[in-house]
Structure 1
Amino acid sequence: MPGTREATIGAVLGDVLGFAAAVAVSPLPVIAVILILATPRGRRNGVLFTVGWVLGLAVLGAVMLAIASPAGASAHKHPATWVGALKLALGLFLLAFGARLWHRRPRDPSEARLPKWMSAIDRLTPAKIFALGVGLAALNAKNAPLTIAAGAAIGSAGLPVGQQIGALAAFVVVATLGLLAPLGIFLLGGERARTTLGDWKDWAAQHNVAVMAVLFFVLGLKLLGDGVSVLTS
């Protein structure tokens, strides 16, 4: 029935876009792209980094989508047991990771320190900049669980292939907004762009740990609830 299909797509997008928004507001990738834009070849490298990020999200999401396809992960539009177990495991991981981040957060935001690898960004080759974008998207302990959860949510919903691809594309686009905003400001903002981006970088550097800890705690509880719902229904 058409109404049922639309409701299913709406429910999946509502689920997936929440994960995408969490990926989009991750402070570290935003700081990384701002630092890249400040390098002599910032325009080209910023685009390369963003393309790598998009590719990393798309590939990881597509792999999870293939694993959690309707034939293998869904029975009568209901997610398979292993999908519930996966969400439960991801939820527990995010809760534990968020608690660890919160415990280790600087009590004084001005004492926050950026990862050491960021100091070498201005010396990276274009290929390494591209690889950094892929890695921060697909291999990062903060973003990978969210992308995996999004892929599982899409693949286990029993949607047609075209709608699965559309849902994954929507996830990738929304998850990339955090990078597109500073990139757009840099390309279109003129002289004021550097000051604006510098203010963003300083704020994100100071509050990175606290923001991610709260984000992980909220999303961990959501995934935990989703997993329990699948396993008990």
Structure 2
Amino acid sequence: MTELAVTLIPVALGVVLSPLAIMALVAVLLSQRARVNGIAYLLGWVLGLVGLLVLFQWLFGVFGVQARGAPPGWVSVVRLFLGTLLAGAAVWVYRRGRKHLARLATATTPRDVAAAAPQLPGWLQTVGTFRPGRTFALGVGLFVLNPVDASCAIIAALDISLAHVSTAAAAWVTGAFAAVGTLPIALPVLYVVIRGDAAQPLLDRVRTWIASHTHVLNAALLLVIGALQLQKGIAALL
């Protein structure tokens, strides 16, 4: 179980440093209903993360990744595909991230956030008018429909399914992975809920730090995760 947990550390950090989720969270916390919408966004994010982990562990079980002495050949294909996707995402994040995250650091309204992050849907400019139900759906969608975050969840589900651990141990590791992946959303939301308007100065400082560092850290982690998946996929084919 310890070996499995160590294997999943870079994958979990790939979720933690997701620029897309952080940009959307900034827009939510700048909205008029920051507290209630922040909680709704957090719950949606948790559902998306846990839902994908559970769904793909179930699917990998149905397709029998442990039914034979060695994983089926399609597992290597999945790893090669996800590795290539994440390596490409690392290049894109690094090249595009600095410019847009710098603009994010000075955003003061949801519309400014959307302008700083053109990869976000245009309707995010109206997040200030969102009610909790719509913000909840935003949290779910930005995890499930984001190929980078979804790929990390699928990789985690695959590694857990392939590990020779008990059902209880697999559940503990799944819960720990979900908890770590939720931290970057949960901490700012809880801080805003507790502190209200007084939370703004610290959030501004955190946002400035994110604008300066997140794109480099996220690109490096995605490259590491992608390289590991490519190495595992190629090794299994040889």
State the TM-score, normalized to the length of structure 1: 0.83
Aligned to 1:231: 237
Measure, in 1, the Cα distance between the counterparts of 2:212 and 2:117.
Answer: 9
Q: Please, which of 144, 150, 155 is the counterpart of residue 144 of structure 1?
A: 150
Give 2:117's aligned amino acid. Answer: L
How does 1:111-190 map onto structure 2 within 5 Å? 113-115=116-118, 116-189=122-195
Measure, in 1, the Cα distance between the counterparts of 2:22 and 2:94.
Answer: 20
Give the share of equivalent positions with the same residue, in percent.
29
Q: Alpha-carbon deviation of 1:33?
A: 2.2
Measure, in 2, the Cα distance between the counterparts of 1:25 and 1:99.
Answer: 15
Q: Secondary structure at the match of 2:53?
A: helix
Report Cα offsets for 1:75-118 as digits up to 9, x if no partner. Answer: 56643332222112111111122223334455696456223444
Matched, 1:64 2:67: no
Aligned to 1:13: 5
Measure, in 1, the Cα distance between the counterparts of 2:211 and 2:237.
Answer: 39
* Conserved? CA contact 1:19–1:146, under 8 Å: yes
Report Cα offsets for 1:1-31 as digits up to 9, x if no partner. Answer: xxxxxxxx11211122321121012133223
Measure, in 2, the Cα distance between the counterparts of 1:70 and 1:30.
Answer: 34
Measure, in 2, the Cα distance between the counterparts of 1:180 and 1:67.
Answer: 28
State the TM-score, normalized to the length of structure 2: 0.82
Matched, 1:87 2:90: no
Q: Secondary structure at the match of 2:147?
A: coil
Measure, in 2, the Cα distance between the counterparts of 1:128 and 1:109.
Answer: 25
Aligned to 1:54: 46
Number of aligned positions between the proteins: 224
Instruction: Label 1:220 to 1:69 Cα distance change in 2 as closer, same or farther (>3 A).
Output: same
C-alpha RMSD of the superposition:
2.6
Aligned to 1:98: 90
Instruction: Label 1:49 to 1:162 Cα distance change in 2 as closer, same or farther (>3 A).
Output: same
Give 2:229's aligned amino acid. Answer: L
Give 2:20's aligned amino acid. Answer: L
Matched, 1:222 2:222: no
Instruction: Label 1:109 to 1:143 Cα distance change in 2 as closer, same or farther (>3 A).
Output: closer
Measure, in 1, the Cα distance between the counterparts of 2:100 and 2:195.
Answer: 32
